[in-house]
Structure 1
């Protein structure tokens, strides 16, 4: 595995192909980072209220809310994870209030539908507003009085296919705003996104299409000058079966009589049907493991620090998130 030092990173952007569990990984990473008494903000920008569902809390407003405590570390007190659901309309109203003092006037624009019009007709502006709020959370200033100063911000970002477009807001605005405050904000945001304080982590599973999309995503991020972080391999199957037994299962040469005898010693009436079913499941598992090992080799060739998270048999609940957070902490990402 490629060694990495993430201590300088303040903004962890988590992306991945749909179905790989990027939101789960982002939440686990936030919990893992919230140690040594650190304050961590977990943000989402896709409007799905995924954070609220994962942490079993009410739908999040456009406000930073404390949702969990982080992992304990070396006997020290845990940190705190806050969450923020960012929508472009609220981000624009906050921007107008902070920089132009348009409190009531901004809300009037919202009632007249001007905000929705502006963020719909110009998608580039929408992304500037979303990323601008993330930037503000990372680099707090005196305009946001009394706001928490975070040690780290984790962004549950759009999928890999859109991540470079989402983060590379300068290019999105090239034909729309060459000067002015929106362009100035985009330029300021890009100074953070292209700095060592940002890392874009890519989540995948050990299947051909997600791994290929991860490779394509890394190449595209490099092309636009955005900092590539780690590759996080999610939903990895248990590897507690000996290689020789896996080979035998794949070849169909497992000893059926021995399996039946083992079942009998455990007090289970095997019967031919049960033994045959177990042999079929063993073959399916061995085939899946062989495919995973082939894709693991492809991931290793990507040249990025790589971390693996197990498939949780009971599904992902809050306890499962803490398990994954502990794994990321142990492996050195959090």
Structure 2
């Protein structure tokens, strides 16, 4: 299991880097907006380093502007003031936007990140009162680029999404990703980048890394049980943060062959799938099974060592032997008595051939 999580971790880190790079060039038309038409959640994350308490108190319908969002700003007094207006102004990596056509001012920029459009409108209105009498400001978000999340793995509709409001994991999973597939492994992993602070310089990041260790700015990985998330458990249904990469690993497989109703792969959705449970998942034993000659064929992950484990199902039924826990790629071979197998194959073959003959009426 540790090796599986390690592999998932490496894949998620790569996915996270790709998401962060892609989000810089992604517009609202190129990604699916989350929260544009569904009811708002009760609370959630905001852009910036707001505390959990502050986030919980924010209205769910209020989107907080963030870096790389594109704004449309219109200033009127009472006619439109073209030199103060812009159809497309991108918030920079530090969360700032320029104050247009302002000269000889100490303040050439204003912080937009972390504000709602209403709050930014009021800030700009107060600033422009020194240039225009009773100016009116309207701010609209043209492109949502600052809160990307991605979900992949065993889901119906994997993809990348832009959040426009606080969104919980369960909402993204069920309403936007279509829910988990049958091949899910029963776990959810969230790769989460730490909050570095807006526009942190390379020197600041390096200094913090030296002070706190090399892993100070490494991604944080949250491991959750899918069943708890689907129940809406508070701890397993967190609010998502910008840059989160959610992965539902696919379940590993073991194989049941031989004298069972439905031979084939069985999914190992937990670490405790026993031999008898796997046989039940395969439909159970067929008649004439040699219960004392069942075997589990186990091969190492690298394909090196091959081990055959004899199993007596009758002894397991009588609590005289341990029920073996299966591992990924185990093969359970369920034998049948040789003579009875031949007889049954002849009978079934004859019945199959007879079924293909034309039906005639005997007068």
Q: Indicate the TM-score class for this superposition, using the shorter chain for normalisation.
A: under 0.3
Asked which structure has the greater CA Rg, the reply is 2
Higher strand share: 2
Task: Choose between structure 1 and 2: higher helix proportion.
Answer: 1
- TM-score (structure 1 length as normaliser): 0.25
